[in-house]
Structure 1
Amino acid sequence: MGLFSRLRDRLVKTRQGLVEKISELTRRTREIDEDFFEELEAILLGADVGVEATEELIDQLRAAVKEKKLHEPEQVQEILKEKMAILLGSEEQGLNIDQEPPNVVMVVGVNGVGKTTTIGKLAYQLKQQGRKVLLAAGDTFRAAAIDQLEVWAQRVGVEVIKHQEGADPAAVVYDALQAARARKTDVLIVDTAGRLHTKSNLMEELKKVRRIIEREHPGAPHEVLLVLDATTGQNALSQVKLFKEAVGVTGIVLTKLDGTAKGGVIIAISSQFNLPVKLIGIGEKLEDLRPFDPGEFVEALFAEEEKVGQ
């Protein structure tokens, strides 16, 4: 199965909740009137595209319909596809990890979003590119978190810098930076506790970790990736806001896109926060964490059945 076909197949739930409903609307509607726009708005909101992004898309569609003097509802779908692609960004934005090594990637997010799994898959892919990778077990609040990271490290074939459960995360990161330099590491990936984003004291701990990185390696962290679970839909937006304010998020990793009808949240995030989605998770395999290409994503979302396997 080709990469495009695999992506298309993994987006089936979001397609059913968004594109197929829009297609059904355009087929049964005779004219582009206010009722049509209201139904379209309800479909977009139902797929977690978000209030701001939905309003922007509807406004752009109204303008396009007026400007092009469109009368057939089917014509609206192609324009919507184009406008969605624009909202998501014009092109793939890769990770900023080509600076003077070690490049530091700090990974943050709440419990249960797939943060450690994301780190493992990212380490695997970087290693496949010929980069030397080191992991820092900065989540010292749960022994299971350290164990889980070690399992991934063994699976992928990279090393982990760790302390005991309950240790100061900043101390772990300090040691990891020294080790990364000594071992001529290309990329150091820093795990952090899956802290509740509403707990200010835990956010302060994250800020401390970032300060240590900045102090010990000026210019770092080169990326602060916020891992979000796509199945949470609009709840992800509050996480983006708080983590961005606390630690200066540079990019989003959206996991579990294969298991949700709420994939429209990717549009809400891009529109509301002007933050690039850099990676998406579409399955359990190592290669199912993949760079996010806005054009490819929209094409796969709107793809017809006959495109599978091409």
Structure 2
Amino acid sequence: MSELSIQDLTKTFKTKVAVNHLDMQIPSGKFIAFLGPNGAGKSTTVGMLTGLTQPTSGQIKLGTLTPADIAYRQQIGVVFQYGVLDDNLTVHQNLKLRAAMYPNVDKAWLDRLENDLGLTPLLNQRYGTLSGGQRRRVDISRAMIHRPKILILDEPSTGLDIPTRTVIWQVIHQLRKELQMTVILTTHYLEEAEAADFVYVIDHGEVIAADSVSHLKHEYAQVEMTLISDQPETLLANLQQDGYQAKQAQEKVTLTVADAQTSIDVLVKNRQYIQQFDSHEGDMNTIFLALTGKEIR
């Protein structure tokens, strides 16, 4: 399958620039995350990828296809932030109508989706009576009916409890592996971006960083240390004398260092004052904070 190419993509609304000259190359079969705060331009980008929003400039191509081509749209499955199914129809009726829009939908495949996503007990309920988590599972089943080559998930877990999010992601990862499907996720849930093969960090409509999670961590996420001491004041003074921005709260002294080797140096030099310690690499929130100067919101 061809890779998805996004070149110089821009979208403006009157005087507001929502998406600002995005360039991305998304290989087939990969899990890609667009990470950024609300209002960063992620959903506008999804709108252009699906053909629902026309770009002001730039282009999107899947091989030789563009979002204006029927063949392009037939290869895309989308889970929007808000449900697009009929509230007054049952789950079964909604999915049956959607299946009729595509040629040669395998009933066994639809049964599989309903079973894996726990929809069987809900098939005769009206879509409008379902909880948020139940609706989202139906939405994912609807988006997967035609076995898309690319599945786009626009903030799929917003407002869902952790058990529901866990089930949804277990199913998506399993189906992605089986179908060798590309998954594009927009999210501000940092732990979801952690599982991606490649992350685009977006803010104010621009890509401010793009790399694998491991490389982003190596580049931007420092090592966070917590030291337990019976002489915390002395330990704090020594660390500050060495130029570290350390803080003390009772017996705990916390600080951030550049890398693992530096954390070892700190421990060795101050070992007589340290009874216990914890050291871990920063997460995606640390990366976003380093890039933008603010926590993701």
TM-score calculated relative to the size of structure 1: 0.33
For the pair shown, the structure with the greater C-alpha radius of gyration is 2
- Bigger helix fraction: 1
- Bigger strand fraction: 2
TM-score calculated relative to the size of structure 2: 0.34
